[in-house]
Structure 1
Amino acid sequence: MEPIDIDEADLRLLELLQTDAARSNQALAEAAHLSPPTTLRRLKRLRASGLIEREVAILSPDRLAPVLGHGLSAIVEITLERQGAESLDAFEARMAPEPAVQQCYRVSPGPDFVLVVHCADMPAYLALTQRLFTSDANVRNVKAFFATRRSKFEPRLPLNSARPTP
């Protein structure tokens, strides 16, 4: 993957999109101090480069709870028996299509993976563990931490501090 050359205007656009991706091109251009055609061209390039993976709505679990129930959120640590590249890749491939697995991280040291999981309730979580972990002979250990309250959720990447100084 080759690096993409971005400048301060691109960083301004990315920061603005992280706070509100539903803004019109006109509003983005104005906030970024760019012309609308320049903004459109830059956004097209940022999307094509893969810097912008996708644009989604972030839903409020508390506001949805009266309709759907609160559900069950868990942070799950997974340790595999065999940690070869093929085994690690196979585990990741099994997690990717699973809707209940919101995030999957390969980590070190400690467990091999940390997952963020959201299920409707404990029976749904147990079914998930049977399907994904218990049936996998390579899963040695599963340790789950159940969320009692979400104190913070921020999907933004810190762009200002991420840029190396020359």
Structure 2
Amino acid sequence: MTGIDDVDYRILELLMDDARRSYRDIAEEVDRSPPTVSERVERLEEVGVIEGFTLDVDRSMLVEGPTVLVDLAVEPGSEEMVVDSLTDAPAVEHVIRTVDAAVVFVAHANERDVGALLSETLGDERVRDYRVRLVGETKWEPRLDEEHLAIECVVCGKAVEGGDESVDLGDRTYEVCCSSCASEIKDQYDALQQAASE
């Protein structure tokens, strides 16, 4: 299987709705056998479309304090370290770094405790300024856009269409859009293998 077809799309929809759904239930929905569904899910994992199956926990039920949205202005060049540090903080739920180097996160803490959280987690020298807003409501409902759903070629970034190629290298499968990209990734892999063995 190369690319994503209608069956894969439907499997993804069903798993997004309930990741605990059995392959047997999914197979009935997509008119395929459970082993076929299992193979398709495994393939979607191999190519990186499915990154894992997670548990969605309402942390507000487990952590004290209201939900707040915090906008950070951080020292230039420290964004990645700030994101990593905040990700490990127990009160922090989501961390987002924008392309213009802003950092935004959702946490469960009283507004007055955010300063202490930042000081303990990041130190005072990394944060230039911050703004705290109370969150009234959040909704997280991931959706698939079938029209724009495609695997990207790992070499050139073009969409991988049905009938394109996949390349097995080591223990991983890579999706490519054409024989030229297949040759290029094989050459890169061989060069890395050769360099590693020297």
Q: Select the residue among 127, 148, 151 that pairs with 1:162.
A: 148
Q: Select the residue among 85, 88, 91 that pairs with 1:100.
A: 91
Q: Select the residue among 29, 47, 50 that pairs with 2:48.
A: 50
Cα drift, residue 25 of structure 1: 0.8
**Fraction of identical pairs, as percent:** 28
Amino acid at match of 1:131: E
- Separation in structure 1 between the aligned mates of residue 92 and residue 48 of structure 2, nearest angstrom: 22
What TM-score do the two structures reach when normalised by structure 2?
0.63
Deviations 1:115-154 (A, max 9, x none): 11124x5576454233135x2412111111112x32x422
SS of equivalent to 1:99: coil
Q: Is 1:71 aligned to residue 65 of structure 2?
A: yes
Cα drift, residue 9 of structure 1: 1.5
SS of equivalent to 2:148: coil
- Separation in structure 2 between the aligned mates of residue 146 and residue 60 of structure 1, nearest angstrom: 17
SS of equivalent to 2:27: helix
Cα drift, residue 156 of structure 1: 1.4
Gaps of 5+ in 2: 151-158, 162-198
Q: Select the residue among 77, 83, 105 that pairs with 1:115.
A: 105
Amino acid at match of 1:118: H
Deviations 1:60-105 (A, max 9, x none): 568x4xxx576321111011132x3xx2222222122223221111
- Separation in structure 2 between the aligned mates of residue 142 and residue 122 of structure 1, nearest angstrom: 11
Aligned ranges 1:8-87 → 2 under 5 Å: 8-60=6-58, 64=61, 68=62, 71-82=65-76, 84=77, 87=78
Residues 161 and 113 of structure 1, relative CA distance in 2, 3 Å threshold: farther
Contact 2:63 2:91 in 1 (8 A): no
- Separation in structure 1 between the aligned mates of residue 81 and residue 64 of structure 2, nearest angstrom: 31
Number of equivalenced pairs? 151
What TM-score do the two structures reach when normalised by structure 1?
0.74
Aligned position for 1:132: 121
Contact 1:80 1:139 in 2 (8 A): yes
Give the aligned CA root-mean-square deviation in angstroms: 2.9
Gaps of 5+ in 1: none
Amino acid at match of 1:117: A
